[in-house]
Amino acid sequence: MGKAIAEQLAISKKYLVFHFDRKLHKNRHSIACSSIPIMLKKAEVVILAVKPQNFIEIKEDLIQSVAARHTVVSIMGGVSLRAISAKLNCKNIIRSMPNLALRYQASLTGWFAHPECSKRSSRTAKEIFLLWGRDIKCRKENQLNDITAAAGSGPSYFLMIADLIYRYCRKRGFDEKKSLLISRQVLKGADRCYSSMPIKPLEIIKKITSKGGTTEAAFKCFKQQKVENKIMSGIIKAGKRAKELEKILNK
């Protein structure tokens, strides 16, 4: 995710991007810095794109280096504003939850700012999120768990359907190339329909469904098998797991 973020920031040509790497590995989209203090002397915006369990490894350097002038943007799942801001000399902190589609400017990024975050820092963060796709400002911090379940994991739910279509086509004798084309184009077509029609998804399904037709037959089977309930249960479970992880990470 960090690499994808650096790429999008660099492509925008609005930012000079640095990244922390003790071994100074080269990256064509950002400049490597051997330490966090060195990097933060040059940077105005700090993006915490590390795994939650690795946050503790960099926290001391952040405490020593983050100043009131910085804007801190976290994409760490489950690490609360309280945990991030503890002992930092800065309240301009924004938690966010993007997904990997940010590489294609198609992420839905939910975010929530520290109560004492400046308007300038919030605007800066929003400008960055819009480089990744679209954004939603959450009313409460715990709504980020719902964003994680719906949007963070969300692309996988659609890809599961695409995989089922791919596997069906393979079983019906289409080769791999054609099966992938069918599943990808169906997903792309559904996206175009949904993006272009200012109506709810169910209303689009009704437009596609003819009485006594194939779509109706499929949905009757889905209803009998309680497919909707099972998928919804999975999404709810993802939200619960996000909350569980938050409790574990913020002990």
Do 115 and 18 share a structural domain? Answer: yes
Do 100 and 71 share a structural domain? Answer: yes
Closest CA to 15 of 49, 50, 44: 44
Per-residue model confidence (pLDDT) at position 22 = 82
Task: Domain count for the chain, please give it.
Answer: 2
Closest CA to 44 of 114, 127, 111: 127
Do 93 and 45 share a structural domain? Answer: yes
Residues 6+ apart with CB under 8 A from 158: 187
Q: Is residue 41 a part of any domain in this protein?
A: yes
- On whether the CB atoms of residues 35 and 46 are closer than 8 A, the answer is no
Q: Is residue 146 a part of any domain in this protein?
A: no
Q: Is residue 144 a part of any domain in this protein?
A: no
Do 96 and 44 share a structural domain? Answer: yes
Per-residue model confidence (pLDDT) at position 251 = 67
- Domain of residue 15, CATH code: 3.40.50.720
Do 163 and 94 share a structural domain? Answer: no
The sign of the dihedral angle between the CA atoms of 61, 67, 70, 74 is positive
Per-residue model confidence (pLDDT) at position 246 = 84
Per-residue model confidence (pLDDT) at position 226 = 97
Do 198 and 124 share a structural domain? Answer: no
Do 173 and 129 share a structural domain? Answer: no
Tokens of 23: 């071994």
Q: Is residue 197 a part of any domain in this protein?
A: yes
Per-residue model confidence (pLDDT) at position 247 = 84
For every one of its 251 residues, what pLDDT tens digit does the chain have, with 9 covering 90 and above?
889 999 999 999 999 999 998 888 878 899 999 999 999 999 999 999 998 888 888 999 999 999 999 999 999 988 999 999 998 989 999 999 999 899 999 999 999 999 999 999 999 999 999 999 999 999 999 999 999 999 999 999 999 999 999 999 999 999 999 999 999 999 999 999 999 999 999 999 999 999 999 999 999 999 999 999 999 999 999 999 988 888 887 76
Per-residue model confidence (pLDDT) at position 28 = 86
Tokens of 61: 């350097």
Domain that holds residue 236: 154-246
Do 129 and 12 share a structural domain? Answer: yes
Do 235 and 162 share a structural domain? Answer: yes
Please identify, among 139, 164, 192, the residue that sits at the C-terminal boundary of a domain: 139
Per-residue model confidence (pLDDT) at position 208 = 93
Helix, strand, coil shares, percent, the chain, to 5? 60, 15, 30
